[in-house]
A and B are shown apart, each in its own frame.
Chain A
Amino acid sequence: MLNYLIRRTLLMIPTLLGITLVVFIVMAAAPGGITAQSLVDGMELEPESRRALEEYYNKLYGLDQPAPVQYLRWLNNISPIGFEREPDGTLGTFSLWKGADLGISFRYGRPVMDLLAERLPITLLLNLISIPLIYTIAISIGVQAARQRGGRFDVASNIFLLGLWSVPSMLAGVLFIGFFASEQYWRWFPTGGLMQRETVDQTFLPLFANGSDLLIAVACVVTVTVLLIAAATSAPKIARQCGGFVIGALLGYAMAWDLGGQWLGGLHVLLATSLGLLISLLASMQHPGFRIALAGAIGLGGGLTLSRYLGVEVMQGGYLLDRLWHLVLPIIALSYGGLAFLAKLTRSSLLENLAADYARTARAKGVDEETVLWRHVFRNSLLPLITVSATLLPSLLAGSVIVESIFSIDGMGKLAVEAVQTRDRELVLSVTLISGLLTLFGYLLADIAYAVVDPRVSYD
């Protein structure tokens, strides 16, 4: 196994080189190429200042040298072993402890390493929260659909998931921002960024006016949630549907009233009925797990609203809540596509394995269906999911680009777009390198996970 890991890691290097080479070629082959002229073109300067600026850039970044030399210099800079660079730009002595130097960004004028250190964690935060979310929800939906093959849930969820997968993420993001985060419609969520500036100084958890307020808030939330969960699990189907419809209708009406301020209008009826139908449909689902989750979510929201009406005041939102509040929409926009795909994959993989020979042997031994599903089939069905997860990380990174642009989140995706737009050579190459590294790393992790889950696979 160790041999395999070493081999894979070594094989990553030529691939990474290849990636950066391709991107570099694109940059160099473009009209204008990577020269100082392209940097100063946009500015309005007198000829002497322009020339002086060009010379400065040339010196600093070595832009006057031919493209292959530039690439080699860049390679030299990023490798931990190589020639050191003197401050004036010439090459110094060979050293084994040079350390990687990603260069200085043209646009920002700051070292690329610093920029990445600031932005990368944010992108990683978005993606790393998305991944477990995607997997848990996708597997639950997939399992449920496979259990009731051909049933209503299965057929409906199949079409729904395909549709969900087809919605372009930019459309989703735009609609989210437009409807749920703007001044004109519902102002439930912030318009962008990851946090409000004030919260940096605030406490981590919300701060209430006094202790009793906190108690009231908690009590409200708990009561409402428990009641709803109890109703969701034990009430008969008709009661659940009616109750769900009422809750949905009220919610819809509140949303419409929030918009227009009138008492009744076309929008009110529309929203009330559609939300009512939606929630009543969800409430009539067979599997109790989904209903509990739904009841929990509504209970949380309802409890908080109730506590607000009872006069509970929150002094400070607190760092945690603020971050969460800002993260909701971007994460939904980022993960729904992967979720849809994985759910369908889970379903098909489970169905294939439920009909397999070893499942039949298990049934012949007297094992009941639930145990066949979870003990025998589930682990075998995970295998294609793991293979796919290798491609999940790169697609999430790509999705981050769009999501970060829409929601004005200063992450690596946004950085990449800016870098490309401003032809910032160092930044583009470094961002490409990092994304390539993350992607290859993701592939390697997926292969290792595969070896862990499937005992037939051994890397020797």
Chain B
Amino acid sequence: MTELSADTDMKQPSQPWTTQVAVSLLGRTSARIGLSWIGLLVIIATFSPFLASSHPLYLVVDGQASSPLLQHMTALDWVWLSGLPMILVIALLPIPLWKKFLSVLIGLALTAMIAYTLVSPPALVIYEQYRELEATGKVETIIRAPIPYSAKDYLRDYADTGIESPLLTSEQRLHWMGTDENGADVASRMIHASRIALGIGFIATGIALVIGTIIGGLMGYFSGIVDIIGMRLVEIFEAIPTLFLLLSFVAFFGRSIYMMMVIIGITAWSGYARYVRAEFLKLRQQDFVQAAVACGLPLRSILFRHMLPNGLAPLLVATSFGVASAILAEATLSFLGLGLIDDPSWGQLLNQAVQSSTFNWWLAVFPGGAIFLTVFSYNLLGESLRDAVDPQTNRSKRA
């Protein structure tokens, strides 16, 4: 258009890039599907003690009312419960994105500290007591969770504990997804395992992201000797068969969920480092970065205000796929028998499907299906992010 003077032909009111991406994302069908499943998982994970527990929510025995469920909630349960509304509230506040992240982290840390000092559920848990009480008829009112079994309730009060297929005949023992080899209810275990899946997915990827961004950013900006050393590190961690490293870590360091999060994070950072390095190398040549240097802006500002926000695009996409692969990694480890022992995990349930001589299809289909749906959702999200992030890409570039 001709512009013999500076005309003020503006388009719609401005939105920062992150808002644009978010809006564009929510308009895509595949992103919506992915986000709905993930949202569902988050809700299930947050409310899992209320969804599946042997402890009744409300129990009246001999005129005395109590809520065993609330009594037995652990500190972690409270952190999850308060975490969700906290994140939602912070997300809606009109403060810059990085402040939101920071406040979420601080908020969670504070809640965790408070919870761990204040909350102390009884150490000894007897799941069978409620069923015994019911059998004796002393119970006046009882409100149970929709799935009245806890994850670790091995149903020892029943004589025959073993693997049962779903939908048994007896009303008292309705197992929607059957039981596992120890007798615990599969549906309950799956619900509680969603926490581990989500938690490992986010935290492990978060760790990998932080390490990768720092190393990649340093490599990309400073080049020279930093770049050479950094590239060797990246190559080493790329060339190590990830699974081997994971196996070694777990086998030698034992199995705790925090250990697994850290380990999965440590093995995954090299991919992010490569992306950040490539973006920084490109950005260094961009005019506005050169102009910032020419203005004499401090290094801190150049890195964090000018370069990093512009390099985020491929990182976002990679993160989504990265969460999927972190969840897969945990499932694989559990499947190979190297995961958590007592805590429920989808991979571990899958493992049990082939252990015995018979093929117990419900142990393969349901947990496997959950893993598949979760990984699929993150992949869908990643694909949609790829399109949303780069509006100039014409459709032909979509894979």
- A contacts, CB < 8 Å to B: 14-15, 18-19, 22-23, 26-27, 29-32, 149, 158, 162-163, 165-168, 170-171, 174-175, 177-179, 182-185, 344-345, 347-348, 351-352, 354-355, 394, 397-398, 401-402, 405-406, 416-417, 420-421, 423, 428, 431-432, 435-436, 439-440, 443
Closest to A163 in B: B376
Alpha-carbon distance between A421 and B350 when the two chains are bound, in angstroms: 20
Determine the distance from Cα of A432 to Cα of B236 in the docked complex, in whole angstroms: 12
Q: Decide if B252 touches A174 in the complex (CB within 8 Å).
A: no
B283 is an interface residue with CB less than 8 A from chain A: no
B394 part of interface (Cβ distance < 8 Å): yes
Q: Across the interface, do A166 and B245 meet the contact criterion of CB distance under 8 Å?
A: no
Cα distance A374–B263 when bound, in Å?
Answer: 45
Looking at chain B's contact residues, the main secondary structure is helix
Residues of B with C-beta under 8 A to A354: 396
Are B375 and A166 touching (Cβ within 8 A)? yes
* Stretch from B88-96, B290-298, B352-360 contacting the other chain: B352-360
Smallest Cβ distance from A29 to chain B, in angstroms? Answer: 8
Contact of B379 among A18, A29, A162, A417 (CB under 8 A): A162
CA–CA, A184 and B358, complex, Å: 7
A397 to B383, CA, bound (A): 26
* A305 CB, nearest partner CB in chain B, Å: 25
Pair B364/A397 contact, Cβ less than 8 Å:
no
A30-B252, A170-B350 as given contacts; A19 in contact with B376, CB under 8 Å: no
Report if A355-B371 is in contact (Cβ < 8 Å); known contacts: A163-B376, A174-B354, A178-B361: no
B286 within 8 A of A: no
Q: Which B residues from 325 to 374 make CB contacts under 8 A with A?
A: 328, 331-332, 335-336, 338, 347, 350, 353-354, 358-359, 361, 364-365, 368, 371-372
B371 to A, closest residue via Cβ: A168
Give A203 Cβ to nearest chain B Cβ, in Å.
33
A183 to B354: give the CA distance in the assembly, Å. Answer: 12
Q: Is the CB of B252 within 8 A of A171?
A: no
Task: Choose one: A177, A394, A406; the contact of B239 (CB below 8 Å).
Answer: A394
Q: Are B364 and A175 in contact (CB under 8 A)?
A: yes
Partner of A168 from the list B338, B375, B380 (CB cut-off 8 Å) is: B375
Question: Assuming A168-B331, A355-B394, is B358 touching A22 (CB within 8 A)?
Answer: no
Distance in angstroms from A256 CB to nearest chain B CB is: 15
* 16 A/B residue pairs, CB under 8 Å, sorted by A: A18-B236, A19-B236, A23-B248, A149-B396, A162-B383, A165-B379, A168-B331, A170-B331, A175-B364, A184-B358, A344-B399, A348-B398, A401-B243, A401-B336, A402-B332, A436-B239
- Whether the Cβ atoms of B353 and A174 lie closer than 8 Å is yes
A266 nearest CB across to chain B (Å):
15
In the bound complex, how far is the Cα of B386 from the Cα of A345, in angstroms?
Answer: 14
* B240 interfacial contact with A, CB 8 Å: yes
Whether the pair B239, A345 counts as a contact (CB closer than 8 A) is: no
Give the distance in Å from the alpha carbon of A266 to the alpha carbon of B102 in the complex. 56
Q: Smallest distance from the beta carbon of B30 to chain A beta carbons, Å?
A: 8
Residues of A within 8 A of B399 (CB): 158, 344-345, 347-348
With A30-B253, A416-B247: A166-B376 Cβ-Cβ less than 8 Å: yes
Residues of A within 8 A of B305 (CB): none
- Inter-chain contact B232/A15, CB cutoff 8 Å: yes
Q: Which residues of chain B are near A355, meaning CB under 8 Å?
A: 394, 396
Q: Which residue of B lies closest to A355 (CB)?
A: B396
Distance between B155 CB and nearest chain A CB, rounded to angstroms: 25
Taking A178-B359, A401-B244 as given, write out 4 further A-B residue pairs in contact, using a Cβ cutoff of 8 Å, ordered by the A residue number: A344-B399, A417-B247, A421-B251, A439-B241
Tell me whether B39 is interfacial, beta carbon within 8 Å: no
Residues of B within 8 A of A416 (CB): 241, 243-244, 247
- Minimum Cβ distance to chain A for residue B43 (Å): 21
Question: What distance in Å separates the Cβ of A151 from its nearest Cβ neighbour in chain B?
Answer: 13
Chain B, residue nearest A435 (CB):
B241
Q: Is the CB of A351 within 8 A of B397?
A: yes
Set of chain A residues within 8 Å of B398, measured between Cβ atoms: 348, 351
A431 near B324 with CB under 8 A, answer: no
B375/A178 in contact, CB under 8 A: no
- Nearest chain-A residue to B337 (Cβ)? A421
Q: Which residues from chain B contact A184 at a C-beta distance below 8 Å?
A: 358-359
**Is B242 part of the contact surface with A, judged by Cβ < 8 Å?**
yes
Which of B235, B239, B336 contacts A402 (CB under 8 A)? B336
Chain A nearest CB from B227 CB (Å) reads: 14
Indicate if the CB atoms of A166 and B379 lie closer than 8 Å. yes
CA separation between A171 and B273, bound complex, in Å?
Answer: 30
Asked whether A26 and B248 contact (CB < 8 A) given A168-B328, A398-B243, the answer is yes
Q: Which residue of A lies closest to B249 (CB)?
A: A26
Distance in angstroms between the alpha carbons of A19 and B240 in the assembled complex: 6
Chain B residues whose C-beta falls within 8 Å of the C-beta of A398 in the assembled complex: 241-243
Q: Which residues 45-75 of B have a CB within 8 angstroms of A?
A: none
Across the interface, do B397 and A178 meet the contact criterion of CB distance under 8 Å?
Answer: no
Contact digits for B208-250, partner A, Cβ 8 Å, 1 yes 0 no: 0000000000000000000000001101111111111101110
A163 to B324, CA, bound (A): 13
Assembly CA distance A394 to B353 (angstroms): 27
A221 to chain B, nearest CB (A): 32
Q: Tell me which residues across on chain B come within 8 A of A435, comparing CB atoms.
A: 241, 244
Contact A420 B251 (CB under 8 A): yes
Asked if B391 CB lies within 8 Å of chain A CBs, one says no
